Amino acid sequence: MTGRLKAPKGTHDLFPSDSEKFAAVEATARRVFGAHGYGEIRTPTFEATELFARSVGETTDIVHKEMYTFPDRKGRSLTLRPENTAGVVRALVEKGIQEIPKPIRLWYTGPQFRYEQPQAGRYREFRQIGVELLGAPSAAGDAEVLGMLFEFLRALGLSDAVATINCIPKGDARAAFSRALQEHVRPHAGALGADDRKRLEENPLRLFDSKDPEARRVLAGAPATLDFLDAASRAHHEELKRLLPLVGVRFSESAGIVRGIDYYTLTVFEVTSERLGAQNALLGGGRYDDLVGELGGPPTSAVGFAIGEDRLVEAMTADVRPPKTLFAVIPDGPDEFVYALGVAGQIRGLLPEAVVESDLSGRGIVKGLGRAGQLAKDPSKHAFRIERVQAVLLGSQEREGDTVTIKDLTTGTQQSFPRRQLAERLAGRER
Ligand code: HAM
Protein backbone atom coordinates (compact mmCIF):
# COMPACT_ATOMS: atom_id res chain seq x y z
CA MET A 1 0.00 0.00 0.00
CA THR A 2 1.23 3.46 -0.81
CA GLY A 3 -0.18 6.90 -0.11
CA ARG A 4 -0.25 9.09 2.91
CA LEU A 5 -1.87 7.90 6.10
CA LYS A 6 -4.26 10.19 7.91
CA ALA A 7 -5.31 10.31 11.54
CA PRO A 8 -8.60 8.42 12.07
CA LYS A 9 -11.75 10.51 11.62
CA GLY A 10 -12.63 12.49 14.73
CA THR A 11 -9.13 12.40 16.25
CA HIS A 12 -6.63 15.23 16.33
CA ASP A 13 -2.92 15.53 16.95
CA LEU A 14 -1.63 17.92 19.56
CA PHE A 15 1.64 19.54 18.56
CA PRO A 16 3.77 21.25 21.22
CA SER A 17 2.12 24.70 20.98
CA ASP A 18 -1.22 22.96 21.73
CA SER A 19 -0.04 20.29 24.12
CA GLU A 20 1.71 22.95 26.25
CA LYS A 21 -1.70 24.62 26.65
CA PHE A 22 -3.27 21.31 27.68
CA ALA A 23 -0.42 20.72 30.13
CA ALA A 24 -0.89 24.21 31.63
CA VAL A 25 -4.65 23.57 32.05
CA GLU A 26 -3.90 20.23 33.71
CA ALA A 27 -1.31 21.88 35.98
CA THR A 28 -3.97 24.42 37.02
CA ALA A 29 -6.40 21.55 37.71
CA ARG A 30 -3.79 19.79 39.84
CA ARG A 31 -3.12 22.99 41.78
CA VAL A 32 -6.75 24.06 42.36
CA PHE A 33 -8.17 20.58 43.00
CA GLY A 34 -5.14 19.54 45.03
CA ALA A 35 -5.60 22.57 47.30
CA HIS A 36 -9.09 21.19 48.10
CA GLY A 37 -7.72 17.73 48.95
CA TYR A 38 -8.46 16.03 45.61
CA GLY A 39 -5.86 13.47 44.51
CA GLU A 40 -5.44 12.21 40.97
CA ILE A 41 -6.79 8.79 39.96
CA ARG A 42 -5.85 7.04 36.71
CA THR A 43 -8.04 4.19 35.56
CA PRO A 44 -7.71 2.00 32.44
CA THR A 45 -8.61 3.38 29.02
CA PHE A 46 -10.72 0.29 28.36
CA GLU A 47 -13.10 -1.56 30.65
CA ALA A 48 -15.51 -4.48 30.45
CA THR A 49 -18.42 -3.41 28.21
CA GLU A 50 -20.88 -4.44 30.91
CA LEU A 51 -19.60 -1.64 33.18
CA PHE A 52 -20.93 1.07 30.87
CA ALA A 53 -24.19 -0.76 30.11
CA ARG A 54 -24.86 -0.98 33.87
CA SER A 55 -23.84 2.59 34.79
CA VAL A 56 -24.29 4.97 31.85
CA GLY A 57 -27.36 2.94 30.83
CA GLU A 58 -28.47 0.68 27.93
CA THR A 59 -30.90 3.19 26.43
CA THR A 60 -28.52 6.18 26.42
CA ASP A 61 -27.07 7.39 23.12
CA ILE A 62 -23.60 6.78 24.53
CA VAL A 63 -24.10 3.05 25.12
CA HIS A 64 -26.56 2.48 22.31
CA LYS A 65 -24.74 4.24 19.47
CA GLU A 66 -21.39 5.69 20.45
CA MET A 67 -19.17 3.06 22.05
CA TYR A 68 -16.02 1.55 20.59
CA THR A 69 -16.64 -2.05 21.59
CA PHE A 70 -14.48 -5.00 20.55
CA PRO A 71 -13.76 -8.56 21.63
CA ASP A 72 -10.25 -9.24 22.85
CA ARG A 73 -8.36 -12.35 21.76
CA LYS A 74 -10.13 -14.44 24.36
CA GLY A 75 -13.56 -13.17 23.27
CA ARG A 76 -14.17 -10.82 26.25
CA SER A 77 -16.20 -7.77 25.28
CA LEU A 78 -14.21 -4.62 26.03
CA THR A 79 -15.03 -0.97 25.41
CA LEU A 80 -12.84 2.12 25.09
CA ARG A 81 -14.15 4.27 27.92
CA PRO A 82 -16.71 6.85 26.74
CA GLU A 83 -16.49 8.57 30.14
CA ASN A 84 -14.55 8.12 33.38
CA THR A 85 -17.06 8.11 36.25
CA ALA A 86 -17.95 4.44 35.77
CA GLY A 87 -14.27 3.44 35.79
CA VAL A 88 -13.59 5.46 38.96
CA VAL A 89 -16.50 3.81 40.79
CA ARG A 90 -15.48 0.37 39.53
CA ALA A 91 -11.93 0.98 40.79
CA LEU A 92 -13.13 2.13 44.22
CA VAL A 93 -15.53 -0.80 44.66
CA GLU A 94 -12.77 -3.19 43.57
CA LYS A 95 -10.29 -1.68 46.04
CA GLY A 96 -12.82 -1.84 48.89
CA ILE A 97 -14.52 1.55 49.12
CA GLN A 98 -15.87 0.70 52.59
CA GLU A 99 -12.29 0.77 53.95
CA ILE A 100 -11.48 4.24 52.59
CA PRO A 101 -12.24 7.21 54.91
CA LYS A 102 -15.01 9.45 53.55
CA PRO A 103 -15.35 11.73 51.84
CA ILE A 104 -13.20 10.47 49.00
CA ARG A 105 -11.90 13.28 46.81
CA LEU A 106 -10.56 12.41 43.35
CA TRP A 107 -9.80 14.08 40.04
CA TYR A 108 -8.63 12.73 36.69
CA THR A 109 -7.65 13.68 33.18
CA GLY A 110 -7.38 11.50 30.11
CA PRO A 111 -8.76 10.47 26.72
CA GLN A 112 -12.35 9.29 26.26
CA PHE A 113 -13.88 7.77 23.14
CA ARG A 114 -17.30 8.23 21.55
CA TYR A 115 -18.35 7.37 18.02
CA GLU A 116 -20.05 10.69 17.30
CA GLN A 117 -20.37 12.79 14.15
CA PRO A 118 -17.26 14.98 14.34
CA GLN A 119 -17.77 18.75 14.18
CA ALA A 120 -16.28 21.80 15.86
CA GLY A 121 -15.53 20.81 19.45
CA ARG A 122 -16.84 17.27 18.98
CA TYR A 123 -14.35 14.48 18.50
CA ARG A 124 -14.26 10.71 18.61
CA GLU A 125 -11.23 10.82 20.85
CA PHE A 126 -11.43 13.74 23.27
CA ARG A 127 -10.02 14.53 26.68
CA GLN A 128 -11.83 15.17 29.91
CA ILE A 129 -10.80 16.69 33.22
CA GLY A 130 -13.12 15.38 35.90
CA VAL A 131 -13.77 15.38 39.62
CA GLU A 132 -15.59 12.87 41.82
CA LEU A 133 -16.53 13.41 45.48
CA LEU A 134 -17.86 10.28 47.22
CA GLY A 135 -19.44 9.97 50.64
CA ALA A 136 -20.74 13.55 50.99
CA PRO A 137 -24.54 13.27 50.77
CA SER A 138 -25.59 16.81 51.66
CA ALA A 139 -25.89 19.84 49.38
CA ALA A 140 -22.58 21.02 50.86
CA GLY A 141 -20.93 18.31 48.72
CA ASP A 142 -22.54 19.62 45.52
CA ALA A 143 -21.54 23.16 46.56
CA GLU A 144 -17.91 22.16 47.21
CA VAL A 145 -17.60 20.56 43.79
CA LEU A 146 -19.29 23.44 41.94
CA GLY A 147 -17.42 26.11 43.91
CA MET A 148 -14.10 24.42 43.13
CA LEU A 149 -15.07 24.09 39.47
CA PHE A 150 -15.75 27.82 39.23
CA GLU A 151 -12.49 28.62 40.98
CA PHE A 152 -10.73 26.49 38.35
CA LEU A 153 -12.55 28.26 35.50
CA ARG A 154 -11.67 31.66 36.94
CA ALA A 155 -8.00 30.61 37.22
CA LEU A 156 -8.15 29.99 33.46
CA GLY A 157 -9.65 33.40 32.77
CA LEU A 158 -13.20 32.10 32.21
CA SER A 159 -14.87 34.32 34.76
CA ASP A 160 -18.16 34.73 32.88
CA ALA A 161 -19.25 31.08 33.30
CA VAL A 162 -22.83 30.41 34.38
CA ALA A 163 -24.08 26.98 35.47
CA THR A 164 -27.53 25.71 34.53
CA ILE A 165 -28.84 23.41 37.24
CA ASN A 166 -31.77 21.07 37.69
CA CYS A 167 -32.86 18.40 40.17
CA ILE A 168 -33.99 14.99 38.99
CA PRO A 169 -36.38 13.09 41.25
CA LYS A 170 -35.24 9.73 42.60
CA GLY A 171 -36.93 6.52 43.81
CA ASP A 172 -40.77 6.58 43.79
CA ALA A 173 -40.82 10.23 42.77
CA ARG A 174 -38.74 9.40 39.69
CA ALA A 175 -41.16 6.58 38.76
CA ALA A 176 -44.09 9.00 39.12
CA PHE A 177 -42.30 11.56 36.93
CA SER A 178 -41.59 8.89 34.28
CA ARG A 179 -45.30 7.89 34.25
CA ALA A 180 -46.44 11.50 33.91
CA LEU A 181 -43.97 12.00 31.07
CA GLN A 182 -45.28 8.88 29.30
CA GLU A 183 -48.87 10.09 29.65
CA HIS A 184 -47.91 13.44 28.19
CA VAL A 185 -45.97 12.04 25.23
CA ARG A 186 -47.99 8.89 24.32
CA PRO A 187 -50.74 10.74 22.41
CA HIS A 188 -48.00 12.10 20.12
CA ALA A 189 -46.02 8.86 19.85
CA GLY A 190 -47.02 8.35 16.20
CA ALA A 191 -45.04 11.45 15.23
CA LEU A 192 -41.86 10.23 16.93
CA GLY A 193 -39.02 8.19 15.44
CA ALA A 194 -38.36 4.56 16.38
CA ASP A 195 -35.60 5.45 18.85
CA ASP A 196 -37.78 7.92 20.73
CA ARG A 197 -40.75 5.49 20.82
CA LYS A 198 -38.42 2.95 22.40
CA ARG A 199 -37.23 5.55 24.92
CA LEU A 200 -40.85 6.44 25.68
CA GLU A 201 -41.58 2.88 26.77
CA GLU A 202 -38.25 1.85 28.32
CA ASN A 203 -36.72 5.00 29.81
CA PRO A 204 -38.86 8.11 29.24
CA LEU A 205 -36.32 10.48 30.83
CA ARG A 206 -34.01 9.80 27.90
CA LEU A 207 -36.56 11.50 25.60
CA PHE A 208 -34.99 14.78 26.74
CA ASP A 209 -31.77 13.74 24.94
CA SER A 210 -33.58 13.56 21.60
CA LYS A 211 -32.38 15.92 18.88
CA ASP A 212 -35.55 15.34 16.79
CA PRO A 213 -37.42 18.69 16.47
CA GLU A 214 -40.77 16.88 16.72
CA ALA A 215 -39.77 15.28 20.05
CA ARG A 216 -38.51 18.62 21.30
CA ARG A 217 -41.84 20.23 20.36
CA VAL A 218 -43.81 17.56 22.26
CA LEU A 219 -41.52 17.95 25.28
CA ALA A 220 -41.95 21.71 25.39
CA GLY A 221 -45.13 21.33 27.41
CA ALA A 222 -44.02 18.22 29.37
CA PRO A 223 -44.24 17.89 33.16
CA ALA A 224 -41.25 19.45 34.97
CA THR A 225 -38.81 17.42 37.07
CA LEU A 226 -38.95 20.01 39.83
CA ASP A 227 -42.71 19.44 40.35
CA PHE A 228 -42.07 15.80 41.27
CA LEU A 229 -39.43 16.17 43.98
CA ASP A 230 -40.21 14.64 47.37
CA ALA A 231 -39.71 16.80 50.46
CA ALA A 232 -36.12 15.68 51.15
CA SER A 233 -35.04 16.18 47.53
CA ARG A 234 -36.69 19.61 47.42
CA ALA A 235 -34.87 20.60 50.61
CA HIS A 236 -31.56 19.41 49.07
CA HIS A 237 -32.19 21.48 45.97
CA GLU A 238 -33.21 24.60 47.90
CA GLU A 239 -30.16 24.31 50.15
CA LEU A 240 -27.88 24.03 47.11
CA LYS A 241 -29.44 27.15 45.58
CA ARG A 242 -28.79 28.98 48.84
CA LEU A 243 -25.14 27.85 48.95
CA LEU A 244 -24.09 28.40 45.34
CA PRO A 245 -23.84 32.22 45.41
CA LEU A 246 -21.87 31.90 48.65
CA VAL A 247 -19.21 29.74 46.92
CA GLY A 248 -18.90 31.99 43.87
CA VAL A 249 -21.16 30.08 41.46
CA ARG A 250 -23.48 31.98 39.15
CA PHE A 251 -26.38 29.81 38.03
CA SER A 252 -29.83 29.62 36.48
CA GLU A 253 -32.37 26.80 36.70
CA SER A 254 -33.76 24.76 33.80
CA ALA A 255 -36.19 21.84 34.03
CA GLY A 256 -35.03 20.65 30.60
CA ILE A 257 -31.58 19.51 31.75
CA VAL A 258 -31.55 15.80 32.52
CA ARG A 259 -28.12 14.98 30.97
CA GLY A 260 -27.65 12.00 28.69
CA ILE A 261 -26.56 9.49 31.33
CA ASP A 262 -28.76 7.25 33.52
CA TYR A 263 -26.85 7.34 36.80
CA TYR A 264 -27.84 10.88 37.81
CA THR A 265 -30.06 11.46 40.84
CA LEU A 266 -31.02 14.90 42.23
CA THR A 267 -28.54 17.61 41.22
CA VAL A 268 -27.51 17.87 37.57
CA PHE A 269 -25.69 20.78 35.96
CA GLU A 270 -24.05 22.01 32.79
CA VAL A 271 -21.92 24.95 31.81
CA THR A 272 -22.06 26.19 28.25
CA SER A 273 -19.75 28.81 26.82
CA GLU A 274 -20.84 31.33 24.23
CA ARG A 275 -17.50 30.88 22.56
CA LEU A 276 -18.32 27.25 21.70
CA GLY A 277 -21.59 27.58 19.80
CA ALA A 278 -24.95 26.89 21.34
CA GLN A 279 -25.26 23.13 21.59
CA ASN A 280 -21.80 22.42 22.92
CA ALA A 281 -21.53 22.04 26.67
CA LEU A 282 -18.18 22.93 28.16
CA LEU A 283 -18.84 20.50 30.98
CA GLY A 284 -21.51 18.49 32.69
CA GLY A 285 -22.02 16.76 35.98
CA GLY A 286 -24.27 15.92 38.84
CA ARG A 287 -25.06 13.67 41.76
CA TYR A 288 -25.16 9.88 41.36
CA ASP A 289 -26.10 8.52 44.78
CA ASP A 290 -27.14 5.04 43.56
CA LEU A 291 -24.22 4.11 41.31
CA VAL A 292 -21.78 2.72 43.87
CA GLY A 293 -24.54 0.42 45.18
CA GLU A 294 -25.57 -0.60 41.68
CA LEU A 295 -21.98 -1.58 40.86
CA GLY A 296 -21.75 -3.84 43.90
CA GLY A 297 -20.45 -1.48 46.59
CA PRO A 298 -22.10 -0.29 49.80
CA PRO A 299 -24.60 2.56 49.30
CA THR A 300 -22.40 5.67 48.92
CA SER A 301 -23.52 9.08 47.77
CA ALA A 302 -21.46 10.79 45.08
CA VAL A 303 -21.27 13.92 42.98
CA GLY A 304 -18.90 15.06 40.23
CA PHE A 305 -18.38 16.63 36.83
CA ALA A 306 -16.29 16.27 33.71
CA ILE A 307 -15.02 19.11 31.55
CA GLY A 308 -14.39 18.62 27.84
CA GLU A 309 -10.71 19.60 27.90
CA ASP A 310 -10.47 20.14 24.12
CA ARG A 311 -13.48 22.47 24.28
CA LEU A 312 -12.06 24.22 27.31
CA VAL A 313 -8.77 24.96 25.56
CA GLU A 314 -10.70 26.20 22.49
CA ALA A 315 -12.84 28.50 24.66
CA MET A 316 -9.94 30.06 26.53
CA THR A 317 -8.69 33.44 25.42
CA ALA A 318 -6.04 33.89 28.12
CA ASP A 319 -2.69 32.14 27.57
CA VAL A 320 -2.18 30.07 30.72
CA ARG A 321 1.20 28.72 29.70
CA PRO A 322 3.78 30.08 32.15
CA PRO A 323 5.83 32.92 30.60
CA LYS A 324 9.45 32.00 29.95
CA THR A 325 12.77 33.47 28.89
CA LEU A 326 14.45 31.79 25.95
CA PHE A 327 18.24 31.60 25.98
CA ALA A 328 19.56 30.85 22.49
CA VAL A 329 23.12 29.62 23.03
CA ILE A 330 25.10 30.09 19.81
CA PRO A 331 28.66 28.79 19.36
CA ASP A 332 30.59 30.58 16.62
CA GLY A 333 32.14 27.39 15.27
CA PRO A 334 32.87 23.72 16.01
CA ASP A 335 35.63 24.69 18.46
CA GLU A 336 33.10 26.46 20.67
CA PHE A 337 30.57 23.64 20.64
CA VAL A 338 31.69 21.95 23.86
CA TYR A 339 32.15 25.31 25.60
CA ALA A 340 28.57 26.21 24.55
CA LEU A 341 27.21 22.93 25.94
CA GLY A 342 28.83 23.73 29.27
CA VAL A 343 27.41 27.28 29.39
CA ALA A 344 23.93 26.04 28.37
CA GLY A 345 23.98 23.45 31.16
CA GLN A 346 25.10 26.08 33.64
CA ILE A 347 22.20 28.41 32.71
CA ARG A 348 19.69 25.55 33.01
CA GLY A 349 21.07 24.81 36.47
CA LEU A 350 20.75 28.46 37.51
CA LEU A 351 17.31 29.09 35.93
CA PRO A 352 15.37 25.81 35.91
CA GLU A 353 12.23 27.50 34.54
CA ALA A 354 13.99 29.03 31.53
CA VAL A 355 14.19 27.46 28.06
CA VAL A 356 17.83 27.04 27.00
CA GLU A 357 18.39 25.94 23.41
CA SER A 358 21.76 25.28 21.82
CA ASP A 359 22.28 26.18 18.18
CA LEU A 360 23.22 22.92 16.47
CA SER A 361 23.72 24.25 12.96
CA GLY A 362 27.40 25.10 13.33
CA ARG A 363 26.82 28.04 10.97
CA GLY A 364 28.29 30.66 13.25
CA ILE A 365 26.97 33.52 15.29
CA VAL A 366 25.60 35.70 12.51
CA LYS A 367 23.44 32.95 10.98
CA GLY A 368 22.63 31.43 14.37
CA LEU A 369 21.24 34.78 15.46
CA GLY A 370 18.74 34.65 12.61
CA ARG A 371 16.44 32.12 14.23
CA ALA A 372 16.72 33.77 17.65
CA GLY A 373 15.89 37.12 16.09
CA GLN A 374 12.80 35.67 14.37
CA LEU A 375 11.59 34.27 17.67
CA ALA A 376 12.19 37.60 19.40
CA LYS A 377 9.98 39.26 16.74
CA ASP A 378 7.32 36.55 16.73
CA PRO A 379 7.43 34.42 19.89
CA SER A 380 4.21 32.63 18.85
CA LYS A 381 6.42 30.49 16.55
CA HIS A 382 7.72 28.76 19.67
CA ALA A 383 5.87 25.98 21.55
CA PHE A 384 6.34 27.82 24.84
CA ARG A 385 5.11 31.25 25.84
CA ILE A 386 8.35 33.15 25.27
CA GLU A 387 8.45 36.63 26.78
CA ARG A 388 12.07 37.49 26.26
CA VAL A 389 14.87 36.20 24.05
CA GLN A 390 18.51 36.32 25.16
CA ALA A 391 21.20 35.27 22.69
CA VAL A 392 24.28 33.81 24.35
CA LEU A 393 27.12 34.41 21.90
CA LEU A 394 30.20 32.24 22.30
CA GLY A 395 33.15 32.83 20.01
CA SER A 396 36.85 32.06 20.34
CA GLN A 397 37.33 35.16 22.50
CA GLU A 398 34.75 33.94 25.02
CA ARG A 399 36.11 30.39 25.02
CA GLU A 400 39.69 31.50 25.51
CA GLY A 401 38.87 34.10 28.16
CA ASP A 402 36.25 31.92 29.89
CA THR A 403 33.70 34.70 29.40
CA VAL A 404 30.12 34.94 28.17
CA THR A 405 28.43 37.52 25.90
CA ILE A 406 24.68 37.90 26.26
CA LYS A 407 22.62 39.98 23.85
CA ASP A 408 19.08 40.78 24.89
CA LEU A 409 17.23 40.61 21.58
CA THR A 410 14.20 42.38 23.00
CA THR A 411 16.09 45.52 24.14
CA GLY A 412 19.19 45.17 21.95
CA THR A 413 21.60 45.58 24.91
CA GLN A 414 24.71 43.40 25.02
CA GLN A 415 27.15 42.62 27.82
CA SER A 416 30.26 40.47 28.22
CA PHE A 417 31.44 39.19 31.58
CA PRO A 418 33.46 36.37 33.17
CA ARG A 419 31.60 33.08 33.16
CA ARG A 420 31.90 32.76 36.94
CA GLN A 421 29.64 35.83 37.24
CA LEU A 422 26.76 34.06 35.41
CA ALA A 423 24.74 33.50 38.59
CA GLU A 424 24.72 37.16 39.67
CA ARG A 425 24.26 38.46 36.09
CA LEU A 426 21.26 36.19 35.53
CA ALA A 427 19.67 36.91 38.90
CA GLY A 428 16.21 38.37 38.34
CA ARG A 429 15.88 36.89 34.86
CA GLU A 430 14.21 33.74 36.22
CA ARG A 431 11.10 32.30 34.39
P1 HAM B 1 -20.81 14.14 29.72
O2 HAM B 1 -21.79 15.25 29.74
O3 HAM B 1 -21.18 12.96 28.91
O4 HAM B 1 -20.59 13.70 31.24
O5 HAM B 1 -19.42 14.68 29.25
C6 HAM B 1 -18.81 15.77 29.91
C7 HAM B 1 -18.18 16.73 28.93
O8 HAM B 1 -17.29 16.04 28.05
C9 HAM B 1 -19.17 17.39 27.96
O10 HAM B 1 -19.83 18.48 28.56
C11 HAM B 1 -18.25 17.85 26.85
O12 HAM B 1 -17.60 19.06 27.18
C13 HAM B 1 -17.21 16.75 26.82
N14 HAM B 1 -17.51 15.86 25.68
C15 HAM B 1 -18.43 14.88 25.61
N16 HAM B 1 -18.42 14.30 24.39
C17 HAM B 1 -17.47 14.95 23.68
C18 HAM B 1 -16.97 14.82 22.34
N19 HAM B 1 -17.43 13.89 21.50
N20 HAM B 1 -15.98 15.66 21.94
C21 HAM B 1 -15.48 16.60 22.78
N22 HAM B 1 -15.91 16.76 24.05
C23 HAM B 1 -16.89 15.95 24.49
C24 HAM B 1 -19.73 12.73 31.64
O25 HAM B 1 -18.90 12.25 30.94
C26 HAM B 1 -19.84 12.41 33.12
N27 HAM B 1 -18.91 11.30 33.42
C28 HAM B 1 -19.57 13.62 33.97
C29 HAM B 1 -19.65 13.33 35.43
C30 HAM B 1 -18.63 13.12 36.29
N31 HAM B 1 -20.76 13.22 36.12
C32 HAM B 1 -20.48 12.94 37.39
N33 HAM B 1 -19.18 12.86 37.49
Which atom in ligand 1 lies closest to the alpha carbon of residue 86? 27
pLDDT in tens, 92-121: 999 999 999 999 999 999 999 999 999 989
CA nearest ligand 1 atom 21, residue = 122
Residue 274's pLDDT is 75
Query: How high is the pLDDT of residue 429?
Result: 63
Ligand 1 midpoint to CA 351 (Å): 39
285 within ligand 1 shell (Cβ under 6 A): yes
132 CB near ligand 1 (under 6 Å): yes
83 lines ligand 1 (CB under 6 A): yes
pLDDT 10s digits, 41-95: 999 999 999 999 999 999 999 999 999 999 999 999 999 999 999 999 999 999 9
The kind and range of the H/E element at 110 are strand 104-113
Task: Give the pLDDT score at 97.
Answer: 98
The pLDDT tens digits for 37-48 are 999 999 999 999
Predicted local distance difference test score (pLDDT) of residue 430? 54
- pLDDT of 409 reads 95
> Is the C-beta atom of 284 inside 6 A of ligand 1?
yes
Cβ atoms within 10 Å of 110's Cβ, excluding its own: 18
Q: Is 408 exposed, middle or buried (0-12, 13-18, 19+ CB in 10 A)?
A: middle
Angstrom distance (rounded) from CA 115 to CA 112? 10
What pLDDT, on the 0 to 100 scale, is given for residue 278?
54
Query: Alpha-carbon distance 89 to 293, whole Å?
Result: 10
Q: If you measure from the C-alpha of residue 305 to the centroid of ligand 1, how many angstroms do you get, rounded to a whole number? A: 8
* E strand or H helix that includes residue 338: helix 337-350
Confidence at residue 425, expressed as pLDDT on a 0 to 100 scale: 94
Residue among 422, 427, 415, 416 nearest 342 (CA): 422
| Regions in the chain scoring below 70 on pLDDT | 1, 277-279, 428-431
Ligand 1 close to Cβ of residue 128 (< 6 A): yes
Cβ-in-10-Å burial (0-12, 13-18, 19+) of 49 comes to: middle
Ligand 1 atom index nearest CA of 306: 28
